[in-house]
Every structure is written in C-alpha cells, then in structure tokens.
Amino acid sequence: MSETTPPPVITIDGPAGVGKSTISRKVAARLGFTYLDTGAMYRAAALFIDRLGIDSEDETALQHALATVSIELLPAPDEFSDVEVVLNGEKVGALIRSPAMSMRASQLSALPAVRSRLTALQQEWGKRGALVAEGRDTGTVVFPRASYKFYLDASPEIRARRRALQLHAKGEEVDEKKLLEMTIARDRQDMERPIAPLVRATDALLIDTSDKTIDDVLLVILRVVESGLQPG
C-alpha cells in the first residue's frame, strides 16, 4: 500500500486579538494556501447551539445536533476581509463577530462535544490542500504534525489597544477598559479549559508581536517557511 504525503499545513496560534487572522490571511495569500479560520467555526457553532437552545450540560444532545451541522467557510474577497461563514446555508458573518459572541464562543468551545466535532471538520480541511490554519489549538491538537508552527503573543494591553483602534476605524464606539477586561477573561477561559487549552506547542516558533508591525511579523514567518527550516 502506498502512503501519500499530506498537503503542507502552517499553524498560527495565540491569544485573543494578537493578529492571527490578519497575519494568516496574508501568509496564505502570499503562498497560495487556503486560509482556515478555526475561530470562525467555533463562533458559528456557538450561534448554532444558542439558536437551538440546547442545554450545554447535555453532552448527548450536543453531539446529536452537531453531527449534522454544516459550517462552510467561503474565501474572503481580499486579504483584508474576514472569511464569510455559512451556517446551515445561511451567511452569519455579521452575527458571529461581536464581542458578546467572542465570549460565548469561548465558553462553548470548552465543551468536549463541540471540540471533537470541530476538530474533525478542521482535519478534513487539512486533507484537501495546503493550509494556513489559525486558532488556539491548531498546532497542538488539530495539526500536531504541521510543517510549520507559530505562536504569536503580545501583552493584553497592546492587544486591547489594537482592537480599540480597529473598532474605532470602523466607526464603532469603544470602551478600551472593557475591551481589556474581556481580552483577559477570554484568554483565561481559553488557557484554563481542560481540553485543548491555548498553549504554545513545544515546536512552535514564538513571535512577540508587541514591537513589530504586521509586515515585520509576516516577514519573520515567510523567512522561516521559505528557508524550509522547522521553527521549533
């Protein structure tokens, strides 16, 4: 029996608002890889569960409902936009990107039924072609044998500041203190859950983005990938 080599996967993990989507989209565009936003899938799953009103303690009901859910990610029109998320045929991009949905996705993503279903769906993506996958556990759990792994980090204050600027640019009202509190709370939830917590894979290259521009970070990643050397 002949073994085929799986398509290459680059994983980019890190805490909330550190720049994973921004950087991953650019890396994917530069390399011609598909961009996989695993956080968008957790957000869509949270919306799905809440709409059905399933008791999050009811593992069997969750497993049953999630077994048939359809979560599609449509390519973003350009490297600056979010992927479009289609939940059971409905475009839900605008509904899942609010700060409230960020927290809800974080709460529900700790549930075993949610994690096992979404991990399986994400691993299917990895079989179809070259990927840049970003999230919290893409280098540790989803694609432990990824070709290249990166872990982005920056202080919560810097991340909340960047998020505030981003929302401000969109004309949204911003309470930076509240954003900081939510960032810290979400990180804690994601880092302290028992299953697939946010942690740097031992073989991931740590990039502290605090004093780096987006282009600096992009350059570091592309240099590693184009050199063909494993980062870890």
Ligand X SMILES: Nc1ncnc2c1ncn2[C@@H]1O[C@H](COP(=O)(O)OP(=O)(O)OP(=O)(O)O)[C@@H](O)[C@H]1O
Ligand Y SMILES: Nc1ccn([C@@H]2O[C@H](COP(=O)(O)O)[C@@H](O)[C@H]2O)c(=O)n1
Instruction: Please select the residue that binds ligand X; options are 9, 11, 13, 20, rule is CB under 6 A.
Output: 20
Q: How far is the CB of 33 from ligand Y (least distance, A)?
A: 17
Q: Is 18 in the site for ligand X (CB under 6 A)?
A: yes
Minimum distance from CB of 228 to ligand Y (Å)? 26
Closest among 143, 184, 152, 194 to 14, alpha carbons compared: 152
Selected range binding ligand X among 65-73, 158-166, 192-200, 219-227, rule: CB under 6 A:
158-166
Q: Which is nearer to ligand Y, 100 or 169 (CB)?
A: 100
Site residues for ligand Y, 169-228, by CB under 6 A, read 186, 190
CB of 97 to ligand X, least distance (A): 9
Q: Are 10 and 148 in contact (CB under 8 A)?
A: yes
> With CB under 6 A as the contact rule, which of the stretches 40-48, 70-78, 86-94, 165-173 interacts with ligand Y?
40-48
- In whole angstroms, the minimum distance from the beta carbon of 227 to ligand Y comes to 26
Q: How many residues bind ligand Y (CB under 6 A)?
A: 16
Residues lying near ligand X in the complex (CB under 6 A): 16-22, 39, 162-163, 166, 209, 212-214, 217
